[in-house]
């Protein structure tokens, strides 16, 4: 890899891989391809992120844009890969829908989610299911 990536827009001159239908796919399409800043031919979409990581390791793409937790797992397994930029493309919420007015259930769900985040369980799930 030669070059510098200090912002997501810096990827326009590279062959990029993303998992199809992800936030990264949508961001690249909406912000770089649709406005004509990057040719669509430079974007490769994969069914699974591990397929993109394999193509990155084998030089078929230059850059992989994906969620950090699964990428950290790939980098740990492959010393030839490195994370060169970390940032947020979307701050959209993850939604859990509850019956209106069920404050007790909401409080319990909030407590459990915080506990699972604190002990690393949610990150471990991300590695397990998004790294396959």
* Pairwise CA distance, residues 66 & 25, whole Å: 9
For residues 116-124, give the mean pLDDT.
84
Please, are residues 28 and 65 in contact by the beta-carbon 8 Å criterion?
yes
Give the global pTM: 0.69
Q: Which residue shows structure tokens 């391809």?
A: 33
For residues 54-76, give the mean pLDDT.
88
* Pairwise CA distance, residues 31 & 11, whole Å: 11
Question: Residue 42 is encoded by which pair of tokens?
Answer: 């430079």
Phi, psi of 45 (to 5 degrees): -105, 135
Alpha-carbon torsion, ordered 25, 86, 64, 31, to 10 deg: 30
Query: Band of the pLDDT at 49, cuts 50, 70, 90?
Result: confident
pLDDT at 91: 56
């Amino acid at each position: 890899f030669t070059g510098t990536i200090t912002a997501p827009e810096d990827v326009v001159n590279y062959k990029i891989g993303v998992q199809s239908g992800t936030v990264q796919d949508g961001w690249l399409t909406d912000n770089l391809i649709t406005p004509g800043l990057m040719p669509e031919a430079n974007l490769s979409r994969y069914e699974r992120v591990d397929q993109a990581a394999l193509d990155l390791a084998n030089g078929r793409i230059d850059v992989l844009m994906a969620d950090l937790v699964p990428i950290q797992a790939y980098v740990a397994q492959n010393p030839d890969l490195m994370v060169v930029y970390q940032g947020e493309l979307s701050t959209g919420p993850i939604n859990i829908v509850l019956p209106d007015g069920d404050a007790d259930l909401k409080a319990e769900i909030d407590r459990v989610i915080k506990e699972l985040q604190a002990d690393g369980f949610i990150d471990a799930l991300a590695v397990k299911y998004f790294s396959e």
